[in-house]
Amino acid sequence: MPEIITETYNANQIQVLEGLEAVRKRPGMYIGTTGPKGLHHLVFEVVDNSVDEALAGHCDRILVELLPDGSVQVSDNGRGIPIDIHPKTGKSALETVLTVLHAGGKFGDGGYKVSGGLHGVGISVVNALSEWVEVSVWRLEKVYKQRYERGFPVTELIPSLSEEAEPRRGTQVRFKPDPQIFTTQTEFEYDILASRLKELAYLNAGVKIEYCDRRGAELRTDIYCYEGGIREYVAYMTRDKEPIHPDIIYVNGERDNVVVEVALQWCIDSYNDNVLGFANNIRTIDGGTHLEGLKTVLTRTMNATARRLKKIKEGESNLAGENVREGLTAVISVKVTDPEFEGQTKTKLGNTEVRGIVDSFVGEVLNEYLEFHPAVATSIIDKALQAFNAAEAARRARELVRRKSALESSTLPGKLADCSSRDPKESEIFIVEGDSAGGSAKQGRDRHYQAILPLRGKVLNIERADDTKIYKNNEIQALITGCGLGIKGEDFNESQLRYHKIILLADADVDGAHIRTLLLTFFYRYQRELLDRGFIYIGCPPLYKLERGKTAQYCYTDRDLQTAIASFPPNANYNIQRFKGLGEMMPQQLWETTMNPATRSLKRLTIEDAAEAEHIFTILMGDKVAPRREFIETYGSKLGLADLDI
């Protein structure tokens, strides 16, 4: 008889991870990724604790410092993390907060009324994923210090008399990310942190956030403090536009432990809306009840005003929500005691009571403002009516855009070479410039999951176009129907999307860069959620083919080319081919260098700073020449482009 081998499966095979071991074993569960986004998330977790102190009224200054040894230090003048013994753990409250998941002052009635970090894992996760952490707490005229290494305390909590000239209170956390966890990057990028810190300062009026980079030879410091809060945020986003009303409409109130702040500004020279939502300082890119309440009250109030002013007559249809919001820049920020966020990413607010509270507060203020400013009301409604009159073109396009199902359509553009797969998660579309490049791409692709959509000429700049022009444009219609983008102004519906990778593939020249910018403007203005959720990519074709003997090497930058040439022995012969356009590449070359997932390089585009993105698109693609010229001159000189012909 054959030998029977029995594998033992018993309690010995069940692994129990204690303390912070689980965080180090599966860091992605707690910070999303161990790439650059997760790395910077560590800083935000620590800063959020200081902001929570500010929300509770105990802190008005926060200092964030990038230090030469690769660590970051966050200090505040809050109450300081408690240092007395915790009754359940038998350790100090400080050590408990740093070593126990779901421990903190955000779960009961005594610590915080409102908080952003409600999962309670913030600083303990930072501790677990850091090579070391040093914490200092100033309380009762003493300073208490403790050091941790990879989640474990290596010193006792040591008290000493504070050496400060003036009595001080607060918390200081210094940590260095663990290279064993963050294997691709441990260096913090100044601009990524700056955009979030600036955003937090806008959302928390009067809180001073000082940001210092001490890593270079020269100290770099920025100070963010906005007494006007989100009003200044809206003013910043609309600084390059022409406002319809001089004063930003502002709403501020509290009811049933919900604080509501709204700032509204309609602009003449904009065909789009830009509405940012926040709940407990967290950007809610997937919306939620606060944004639903705001959109509902705006539509209802503007329609009631339009009828009162006889702009809409009896029997005529109401303005749609997207008509009312055309040209609007708005920020809504709510602070909720017990927020319900949908999903671990905390990007959609679910509290039903918030919808009615927002509706009530905004309705009262907006009605009063429009009643006392009839000229402003007329201007906003006239702009909305213009958008409404373009709705007929949108309705005609609706029939083209609506598909029989999320994956099949009989009205796809004829120029689209679709893939055979009907699974959007594995499918990708290359949007290429011209028929020549389209031909190479179609022949070189993997037909199972790669689709090709060639576009002719320059794409319409929708920054300067209303909906009528958008839906009449053949290339824009091809983009909408080919990708499954839905109708502009409607909520994003991921199930309609035909491909989860939309790859822009343009020539490596000025015209290619212009076309790529026009396409990015289209996606940003038409359906910004595509960028927010990371569906948009840029393909990176090589600039050169370097041949030496029978070997060939592709170079993607001038630096790559110079490095490759420098590696050759002195005086061996070589040939350089410069690719001026994708159409010059053979299908096999295009596949090997740009389309093959195993060898290609893609850049995934996301928006970290919504306000700055709005500013850039307005300047570069808007009607005003002077700001665009100033921008090009400023950044052109920084890039060493001294002889710009503008």
In this predicted structure, what is the pLDDT of residue 567? Answer: 83
In this predicted structure, what is the pLDDT of residue 249? Answer: 97
pTM to 2 decimals? 0.76
Rounded Cα distance, 17 and 22, in Å: 5
Alpha carbon 501 to its chain's center: 17
Last residue of a domain, one of 389, 421, 438: 389
Rounded Cα distance, 331 and 231, in Å: 8
The mean pLDDT value for 19-43 works out to 88
Rounded Cα distance, 282 and 290, in Å: 13
Chain segment 125-173, per-residue pLDDT in tens: 999 999 999 999 998 888 999 999 999 999 999 888 877 767 789 999 9
The mean pLDDT value for 390-414 works out to 56
Q: Which two tokens stand for residue 26?
A: 């599966």
Question: Which DSSP letter does residue 85 get?
Answer: B
Give the rounded percent of residues in the chain with a pLDDT score beyond 70.
88
Chain segment 581-608, per-residue pLDDT in tens: 888 888 998 999 999 999 898 989 888 7
Chain segment 260-282, per-residue pLDDT in tens: 999 999 999 888 899 999 999 98
Residues 517 and 421 in one domain: yes
Q: Would you say residue 554 lies in a domain?
A: no
Rounded Cα distance, 259 and 216, in Å: 41
CATH number of the domain at 333, please.
Answer: 3.30.230.10
Residues 491 and 509 in one domain: yes
Residues 70 and 214 in one domain: yes
Long-range contacts of 197-200 (CB under 8 A, 24+ apart): 197/47, 197/64, 197/224, 198/222, 198/224, 198/609, 199/233, 199/283, 199/609, 199/611, 200/47, 200/51, 200/224, 200/281
Chain segment 421-438, per-residue pLDDT in tens: 999 999 999 999 888 888
Q: Which two tokens stand for residue 292?
A: 């639903």
Residues 178 and 251 in one domain: no
The mean pLDDT value for 22-45 works out to 90
Rounded Cα distance, 429 and 418, in Å: 8
490: left (phi over 0), alpha (psi -120 to 50) or beta: beta
The number of distinct structural domains making up the chain is 4
Residues 174 and 202 in one domain: yes
Rounded Cα distance, 524 and 274, in Å: 10
Last residue of a domain, one of 541, 568, 587: 541
Q: How crowded is residue 477: how many other Cβ atoms within 10 Å of its Cβ?
A: 17
CB 254 within 8 A of CB 326: no
Q: Would you say residue 135 lies in a domain?
A: yes
Rounded Cα distance, 393 and 381, in Å: 20
Rounded Cα distance, 211 and 200, in Å: 12
In this predicted structure, what is the pLDDT of residue 624? Answer: 77
pLDDT at residue 115 above 70?
no
Q: Would you say residue 591 lies in a domain?
A: no
Last residue of a domain, one of 389, 411, 439: 389
In this predicted structure, what is the pLDDT of residue 500? Answer: 96
Rounded Cα distance, 418 and 413, in Å: 10
More confidently predicted of 486 and 158: 158
Give the confidence band of 291 by pLDDT, cuts at 50, 70, 90. very high
In this predicted structure, what is the pLDDT of residue 1? Answer: 45
pLDDT at residue 569 above 90?
no
Residues 194 and 240 in one domain: no
How many residues are there in the chain?
Answer: 646
In this predicted structure, what is the pLDDT of residue 636? Answer: 64
Residues 326 and 340 in one domain: yes
The mean pLDDT value for 219-239 works out to 95
Give the confidence band of 394 by pLDDT, cuts at 50, 70, 90. low
Beta strands in 434-519 (DSSP E): 450-455, 501-505
Kindly give the residue spans of alpha helices, DSSP state H, lying in 485-624: 510-526, 529-532, 558-566, 587-590, 610-621
Question: Quick check: is 18 catalytic?
Answer: no
Residues 380 and 412 in one domain: no
Rounded Cα distance, 578 and 576, in Å: 6
Mean predicted lDDT score pLDDT of the chain: 86
Give the rounded percent of residues in the chain with a pLDDT score beyond 90.
51
In this predicted structure, what is the pLDDT of residue 409? Answer: 45
Give the confidence band of 105 by pLDDT, cuts at 50, 70, 90. low
Alpha carbon 198 to its chain's center: 14
Residues 384 and 412 in one domain: no
Rounded Cα distance, 400 and 544, in Å: 41
The mean pLDDT value for 199-209 works out to 96
For the packed helices 289-308 and 352-372, what is the interaxial angle rounded to 10 degrees? 30
CATH number of the domain at 189, please.
Answer: 3.30.565.10
Q: Would you say residue 519 lies in a domain?
A: yes
- DSSP 3-state assignment of 335? strand
Residues 209 and 353 in one domain: no
Among 435, 511, 558, 633, the active-site one is 511
Least confident of 398-412, 439-453, 477-491, 492-506: 398-412
Domain around 243? 230-389
Q: Is 300 exposed, middle or buried (0-12, 13-18, 19+ CB in 10 A)?
A: middle
Give the confidence band of 9 by pLDDT, cuts at 50, 70, 90. very low
Least confident of 1-5, 180-184, 283-287, 477-481: 1-5
Q: Would you say residue 552 lies in a domain?
A: no
Q: Would you say residue 44 lies in a domain?
A: yes
Give the confidence band of 403 by pLDDT, cuts at 50, 70, 90. very low
For the packed helices 610-621 and 230-237, what is the interaxial angle rounded to 10 degrees? 20
Q: Which residues pair with 213 in a beta bridge?
A: 66, 220
In this predicted structure, what is the pLDDT of residue 6? Answer: 46
In this predicted structure, what is the pLDDT of residue 346? Answer: 63
144's enclosing H/E stretch is strand 142-149
Among 322, 433, 475, 614, the active-site one is 433
Rounded Cα distance, 146 and 506, in Å: 54
Rounded Cα distance, 62 and 48, in Å: 10
Give the confidence band of 405 by pLDDT, cuts at 50, 70, 90. very low
Q: Would you say residue 593 lies in a domain?
A: no
More confidently predicted of 299 and 638: 299
Q: How crowded is residue 214: how many other Cβ atoms within 10 Å of its Cβ?
A: 14
Q: Which two tokens stand for residue 611?
A: 């306000």
Question: Quick check: is 433 catalytic?
Answer: yes
Question: Quick check: is 509 catalytic?
Answer: yes
The mean pLDDT value for 466-483 works out to 85
Could you tell me which of 204, 357, 225, 177 has the C-alpha nearest to residue 282?
Answer: 204
pLDDT at residue 10 above 90?
no
Q: Would you say residue 459 lies in a domain?
A: yes
Rounded Cα distance, 143 and 161, in Å: 6
Kindly give the pairing relationship between strand 142-149 and strand 61-66.
unpaired
CATH number of the domain at 437, please.
Answer: 3.40.50.670
Least confident of 116-125, 244-253, 471-480, 582-591: 116-125
Q: Which two tokens stand for residue 288?
A: 């939620």
Among 418, 507, 592, 614, the active-site one is 507
Chain segment 371-382, per-residue pLDDT in tens: 999 999 999 999
Question: Quick check: is 507 catalytic?
Answer: yes
Residues 69 and 175 in one domain: yes
pLDDT at residue 642 above 80?
no
In this predicted structure, what is the pLDDT of residue 493? Answer: 85
Place of tokens 């410091």: 221
CB 172 within 8 A of CB 75: yes
Residues 258 and 214 in one domain: no
In this predicted structure, what is the pLDDT of residue 623? Answer: 76
Chain segment 510-534, per-residue pLDDT in tens: 788 888 889 999 998 888 889 888 8
Q: Which two tokens stand for residue 198?
A: 């600036």
Name, in order, each residue with C-beta under 8 angstroms of 515's C-beta and a sequence gap of 6 or more: 433, 455, 458, 459, 506
Give CA separation, 361 vs 250, 480, 535, in Å. 10, 37, 36
CB 249 within 8 A of CB 103: no
CB 408 within 8 A of CB 427: no
CB 349 within 8 A of CB 409: no
